Amino acid sequence: MSEFKKYQHIERYGTSEVEGIENGMCYIFPKLDGTNGSIWIDDGTMQFGSRKRQLHYGSDNAGFWSTLNNDESLRQFFNKWPKARLFGEWLVPHSLKTYRDDAWRKFYVFDVTVDLPEEKPSGEKFEYISYESYVRMLEEFEIDYIPCLAKIENPTEEMLLQQLPNTHFLIKDGQGQGEGIVIKNYDFVNRYGRITWAKIVTNEFKEKHQRKEGPQVKSCKKGVEENIVEEYITSSLIEKVFSIIVIEREGWNSKYIPQLLSTVYYDLIKEDSWNFIKKYKNPRIDFKRLYNLIVQKVKKTKPELF
């Protein structure tokens, strides 16, 4: 039986999880701001998943299952490639609202994997198909995908940042740029033995850059918890988490506030704990205080919810 598989987490560029990803041929893609979805075949039936769970009648995700469950192009694709698994973005209104009117409620593939009969030495039971290969597979059946912006061998950080203004895929004319970029190196395995991609989110980058380059206000020395929240809990992160909850819950209710607060806290610990532990040299952290500071930051960023 082919079961639901969560898509890998995309790590922030510059963290230890993706250290060295720029060594080799890198594929740069625009990052879409929708909701994650996956499609695969099991016993001849198409199966659908969101970021965290399998979908079915009565348990959908923003209409992903109900819209594509009988899609003939997808059925034909899986008739030819039954061991393939599609991962992509189901484009529904999220944080970014500037996509073209005809772009919404469509599935844009950003990765294709093939299930393997046995585990690889790294423990994975799948392998990624290269961009050039899966484009040919998808185009045969007219399945939408996210196009590659650029292929750059051994890019510097500056070269990667230069791609941010080019993220106009599906954006209305004159409405700025997309959410950011995703960096893939199909030969890269991180120091922990995992295949991992990197991301640079435009708003997060701008927010952190402005904080570093803007006027510095002298104040009393801050504790490590304040520094962590100031650096890692950006307004972009909070808006992103809020939007995901709205999509998954199909609307907002004040009873979801605990979920918003705990998810922001969870994302910080999961994504950035190693980074701030390394930066502050194994600091002593009061995690109760850290959580309370996160609550304050969320309230300051989204006062209309409280």
Domain ranges of the chain: 11-202, 215-305
Look at residue 87 in the predicted model and tell me its pLDDT: 98
Please provide the size of the chain in residues: 306
| Long-range Cβ contacts of 273-281 (<8 Å, 24+ apart) | 274/15, 274/16, 274/17, 275/15, 275/16, 275/232, 276/224, 276/228, 276/231, 276/232, 278/16, 280/224, 280/227, 280/228
pLDDT below 50 — which residues of the chain?
216-220
Residue 154 to residue 23: CA distance in whole angstroms: 5
Q: Exposed e or buried b for every residue in 218-253, given b needs 16+ CB within 10 A? A: eeeeeebbeebbeebbbebbbbbbbbbbbbbeeeee
| Long-range Cβ contacts of 68-71 (<8 Å, 24+ apart) | 68/39, 68/107
Look at residue 207 in the predicted model and tell me its pLDDT: 65
Look at residue 47 in the predicted model and tell me its pLDDT: 97
Residue 230 to residue 67: CA distance in whole angstroms: 41
Residue 11 to residue 21: CA distance in whole angstroms: 11
Look at residue 208 in the predicted model and tell me its pLDDT: 61
Look at residue 216 in the predicted model and tell me its pLDDT: 47
Look at residue 131 in the predicted model and tell me its pLDDT: 97
CATH (residue range 11-202) = 3.30.470.30
Tracing tokens 């030819």 back to the chain, one arrives at: 80
Look at residue 301 in the predicted model and tell me its pLDDT: 92
pTM exceeds cut of 0.85: no
DSSP symbols for 242-282: HHHHHHHHTS--GGGHHHHHHHHHHHHHHHHHHHHHHHTTS
Helices of type H across the chain: 64-68, 72-80, 131-139, 157-161, 202-213, 224-232, 235-249, 257-279, 287-301
CA 7 to chain centre: 9
Look at residue 218 in the predicted model and tell me its pLDDT: 42
